[in-house]
Chain A
Amino acid sequence: MDLYREEILEHWRSPQNFGEIHDADFIVDQINPLCGDQVTFYFRFAKRKKTNGNVPFRINDDTIIGNVSFTGKGCAISIASASILSEAILNKPVSALAKITGRDVLKMIGGPVGPARLKCAFLSLEAVKKITVKNTHGRSEEVQN
């Protein structure tokens, strides 16, 4: 069936950028309460200025996502979307995140998924968008560890 293209299954079997970044600058969670699917994205920004102690690292639209990873559990669609999205945003400026639409995600994963599975496909997009929505100051309350 079309939804389960080999590429999606490959990303599900071997998700790219899977794992934690221990010295992440930014961590976001997103959960789908319908099915319990959950992703956590870890970001580390490139060219960050050295901060000393408590001074928060401030990001702006030009801050480059130097490293990104995710952990989580979920269906093939949500995990594959996370994997594909993580590849797409690596080395991109933070401002690029705001411009990614649901349609872009569907294009990235190779086509439509049907209304029942949109939540699965968009889970990761909702997660990474938090970075711009919150207009963060680097290590903020968003960082959980």
Chain B
Amino acid sequence: MDGPGIPALKHARAFAPGAGSGAEAAFAGAPGPALTIEDVSHAYGARRALDGVSFAVPAGGFAALLGLNGAGKTTLMSLITRLFDTRHGRIRVQGCDVARRPSAALAELGVVFQARTLDLDLSVRDNLLYHAALHGMGRAAARGRVAAVLRDVGLSERARDKARNLSGGQMRRIEIARALMHEPSVLVLDEPTVGLDVASKAAIVAEVRSLSRARGVAVLWATHLLDEVEPGDQVIVLHAGRVLAQGELAEVIAAGRATDLRSAFQALTGATGPGGEGGGEVGGAA
């Protein structure tokens, strides 16, 4: 599980379970955390999917959650979005506990799931209006937001098209637009570029970064593609349900005693790339 000669968690900035101030301490100097994960564990029967995961994403920050397939990213996303209940540990969105105050927490959360979740039989506009209704937005306000978010993702002209007529990249952009409809302060994306071509991937990463900067939205970006990480990002390395390292990109590289993120990731996780020991893909060349 641990990288060769690298003791797991030695470099991870873990904080004590339930310590509310731990999140602030983790990213000293940054604005208060928009999303806090504290000592979260989850199991499917006897199989442990997450084990004491702790990290925080500051307001307006961009955090990349790096992990191979099966690392626990989707389980963590399911807990953050309360598809599953958090039985051990605590997750807070803008200070609201997802388990205790789910309405307040979910209202501040925009979500892009790994699977496509647009209703293919509805138009782009109707998909967005449906989402707005699910967040209690009145019809007039929703129509205004539809125009704004479609403009933001550059797809205003596709508003009346059926979702099934969009390309994979366009669907993803609509899902991002939908996640931003209710003006959340935290955006979580679960491997949003999976299955897209290189150009679409780059466009979507750039779009989310730009929207995050423009609106001060905190982003948690789960991925197994290393080239989606940029120097200013917070990086969290998740492997076999545990956080092996986290911090600024340079800190994670240092934690892996490497010169680049790919080598650091491989050193930390023991993964050797596609088809390697880690059993999953490590893409990109950051």
Tell whether A and B belong to one assembly. Answer: no
